[in-house]
A and B are shown apart, each in its own frame.
Chain A
């Protein structure tokens, strides 16, 4: 292993996120320290409201911490401007949202193509990549359906296709199987495992389901905005409840 390999892709140090002020103040995250290396497949679990989404949004450069340091590939994200953070999202990160967040009245294909448009990719090339990504999540034949014409699980898969179409270094997925039955959920997990194993994509996935978490190689548990446990022990991961 080289030294460069040991530089964490993601390094959170003393991260805190506070919403509101005074009476209504909510400490969504407190003193979060987390280092994630390239190629890891991490499951994040924890009770509802424990700060999982908040942490993931922060890592995805969609939100900024109230205090603490966040380094992405060694770069302090807090010192980057808005445009630089946009470029980070564009070129390194793929995000699967808890609520899909697809563009309404826009075909699955156009939705998946969108990140490539912002990358400035030529039309034919991005079309081919988008079709391949849709095929990968098993949506061949649905390319021209609008989100409202797709089931929840299918929308979820369009969202995953959109996140992986740019071949990001890091894939952040907020409950990617939350709306799927077990069989479908397992398909998605196998897809993620494949992406992680074959393409070396680092994956952070928030989930409520122990079955899904079992696919990961590392498990981080949040409680009340803090990291309560962090393990790579397969036995612990398999027995989480």
Chain B
């Protein structure tokens, strides 16, 4: 009996090849779109999280001013930070492992005929530890160089490549503005950050050199403080805030005029953005699923005249309502399954291509796959089955006469 039903259903599918194809197409588009988009969205979220965890979640950033929403939002009215603040945090806050100053500016580095505009950062020799970075060639700044403000520089990998190509830069002198700067080291390549900027596109120089020869003042625009192992971010944050309030003479009840960010905040901000994006993609995908569903519905409704007559014929020659319905159900299920499987394969293939192009991990989610598949199957079955059920309940003659 089941075999006969399957036989009848397959016969009907083949007989109406175009309609069957269009139905399958609706399911395929819906399922593939959802799977591809959600998979790519999930992959990019994973990527952001991986990037941020590489940055180190034990890093605090201190900036002057009471900016909101991130490291770029500080206002300029508050007094600047100083090197003394850095030393105070390093020496007096026991929850901080290392504190390092930073001040940076976009400048052009010149070697011979080659010009290259890059980020020049004044800092000290705790910077590498704080940012969990390493030198591949050469060395870090000596204390003596930091004290005296020597024109020594450490190049990021991108800068080294731009200026020196394949040769070693160690000992060579490059020009940054009017400073002639000896290259003492090259940083390990780090790649793009989760903000998308190239972290290797920078030159490090001693902060005093920066103050004297670039900035012309003693400002420190940001302090990185790496938290000691095993101490919570919140505790370190409070410790730093207390010290800074005291140092900046902020009375009780007054607001901070500086800001301590932790990487966790930034992590959650970035993953937040990424999941909003994933949400958007999913919404678009859901729309295509809906469009696919409407496509199926359309095909089914358009064919309902012909199918109603077909049902009338089947009833007239002795089929029972149940036999007719089983045939239509099997037909709808076969089409939906076929469309669903093709859709899953196509969606995953698109996601693999997309992930490769965006250089993000391929992160298929079985729940979404099942969901998309389930939805299309349900749509296919509903729109294949219910019009048929209506027709199968008619008097045969009414179904036969259906125009």
Contact A86 B315 (CB under 8 A): yes
Chain A residues positioned under 8 Å from B321 (CB to CB): 82-83, 86
Closest A residue to B395 using CB positions? A63
B298-326 vs A, Cβ < 8 Å mask (1 yes, 0 no)? 00000000100110111111111111000
Residues of B within 8 A of A97 (CB): 316, 400
**B397 contacts which chain A residues (CB < 8 A)?**
57, 62-63
CB <8 Å contact, B318 and A90: yes
Report the nearest B residue to A119, measured CB to CB.
Answer: B318
Instruction: Tell me the nearest residue of chain A to B317, going by C-beta.
Output: A115
Option from B4, B314, B317, B320 in Cβ contact (under 8 Å) with A95: B317
Which residues of A144-176 are within 8 A (CB) of B? 162, 166
Shortest CB-to-CB span from B12 to chain A, Å, is 9
Bin chain A's interface residue count: 20 to 34
Collect the chain A residues with CB atoms within 8 Å of residue B396's CB: 62-63, 89
CA gap between A80 and B291 in the complex, in Å: 44
Shortest C-beta distance, A26 to chain B (Å), equals: 14
Q: CB of A184 within 8 A of chain B? A: no
Query: Which chain A residues numbered 71 to 113 have a C-beta less than 8 Å away from chain B?
Result: 82-83, 86-87, 89-91, 95, 97, 101-106, 110
Flag whether B136 is at the interface (Cβ < 8 A): no
A110/B316 contact (C-beta < 8 A), A57-B397, A82-B321, A103-B310 known: no
Which residues of B lie under 8 Å from residue A89 when comparing CB positions? Answer: 315-318, 396
**Residue of B whose beta carbon sits closest to that of A105:** B15
Residues of A within 8 A of B315 (CB): 62, 86, 89
Q: Is there an interface contact between B317 and A120, defined as CB atoms closer than 8 Å? A: no
**Distance between Cα atoms of A95 and B313 in the complex (Å):** 10
Q: Does A139 contact B (CB under 8 A)?
A: no
Residues of chain A contacted by B322 (CB below 8 angstroms):
83
Are B318 and A86 in touch, CB under 8 angstroms?
Answer: yes
B16 within 8 A of A: yes
Q: How far is the CA of A115 from the CA of B322 in the complex (A)?
A: 15
Q: Interface size of B by Cβ–Cβ distance < 8 Å? A: 27
Whether A129 sits at the interface, judged by CB under 8 Å, is no
Which of A83, A91, A106 contacts B15, CB < 8 Å? A106
Chain B neighbourhood of A64, CB < 8 A:
395
**Which of A60, A104, A120, A162 is within 8 Å of B4, CB to CB?**
A120
Q: Does A117 contact B (CB under 8 A)?
A: yes
Tell me what chain B mostly uses at the interface: helix, strand, loop, or mixed. helix
Is B11 part of the binding interface, using a Cβ–Cβ cutoff of 8 Å?
A: yes
Give min CB distance, B272 to chain A, whole Å.
Answer: 56
Smallest Cβ-Cβ distance to A146: which chain B residue: B15
- Complex Cα–Cα for A215 and B318 (A): 28
Known: A110-B11, A114-B314, A117-B8. A105 touches B16 (CB 8 A): yes
Chain B residues with Cβ under 8 A from A90's Cβ? 317-319
Do A95 and B395 touch (CB < 8 A)? no
Q: Which residue in B4, B7, B312 is a CB contact (below 8 Å) of A101?
A: B312
Q: Is B367 an interface residue (CB 8 A)?
A: no
Most chain A C-beta atoms within 10 Å of own C-beta, residue among B312, B313, B400: B313
Say yes or no: B11 contacts A162, CB within 8 Å: no
Q: How far is the CB of A167 from chain B (nearest CB, A)?
A: 13
Within 8 A of A (CB), among B313-360: 313-323
* Inter-subunit contact B310/A86 (CB<8 Å): no
Is B400 touching A162 in the complex (CB atoms < 8 A)? no
Residues B318 and A91 in contact, CB atoms below 8 Å apart: yes
A106 to B16, CA, bound (A): 10
| Of A57, A104, A115, the contact of B318 (CB 8 Å cutoff) | A115
A86 and B320 in contact, given A110-B11, A120-B1 (Cβ under 8 angstroms): yes
Chain B residues numbered 367-403 whose CB sits less than 8 Å from any CB in chain A:
395-398, 400
Q: Across the interface, do B320 and A83 meet the contact criterion of CB distance under 8 Å?
A: yes
- Taking a contact as CB atoms closer than 8 A, the residue among A57, A91, A118 that contacts B319 in the complex is A118
B395→A62 contact, CB < 8 A: yes
Give bound CA distance, A102 to B400, whole Å.
11
Within A165-211, the residues touching B (CB, 8 Å) are 166
- CB contacts (< 8 Å) of A106 on chain B: these are 11, 15
Whether A95 contacts B306 in the complex (CB less than 8 A), given A63-B397, A105-B16, comes out as no
Digitize B20-39: 1 where CB-to-A-CB distance is under 8 Å, 0 elsewhere.
00000000000000000000
Q: Which of A87, A95, A102, A166 has the most CB of B within 10 A?
A: A95
Q: Which residues of B contact A82 (CB under 8 A)?
A: 320-321
Provide the bound-state CA to CA distance between A77 and B317, in Å: 17
Q: Is the CB of B395 within 8 A of A86?
A: no
Looking at the assembled complex, report how far the CB atom of A164 sits from the nearest CB atom of chain B, in whole angstroms: 12
Minimum CB–CB distance from B253 to chain A (whole Å) comes to 84
In the bound complex, do residue A118 and residue B395 qualify as a contact, i.e. CB atoms below 8 Å apart? no
CB distance from B215 to the nearest CB of A (A): 83
Smallest CB-CB separation from A115: which chain B residue?
B317
Q: Report chain A residues within 8 Å CB of B398.
A: 63
What CA separation (Å) do A104 and B16 show in the bound complex? 9
A95: chain B residues within 8 A (beta carbon): 316-317
* C-alpha gap A91/B8 in the complex (Å): 20
Expressed in whole angstroms, the minimum distance between the Cβ of A190 and any Cβ of chain B is: 24
Extra inter-chain contacts (14) besides given A82-B320, A86-B318, CB under 8 Å: A82-B321, A86-B315, A87-B320, A89-B317, A90-B317, A90-B318, A95-B317, A104-B15, A114-B317, A115-B317, A115-B318, A117-B4, A118-B317, A162-B317
Q: List 12 A-B contacts (CB under 8 A).
A: A63-B395, A83-B321, A86-B320, A87-B320, A89-B396, A90-B319, A95-B317, A97-B400, A101-B313, A105-B15, A119-B318, A166-B318
Chain B residues packing against A (C-beta within 8 Å): 1, 4, 7-8, 11, 15-16, 306, 309-310, 312-323, 395-398, 400
Q: Report the 8 A-B pairs with minimum CB-CB distance, sorted nearest first.
A: A90-B318, A62-B397, A62-B396, A63-B397, A115-B317, A86-B320, A105-B15, A89-B318
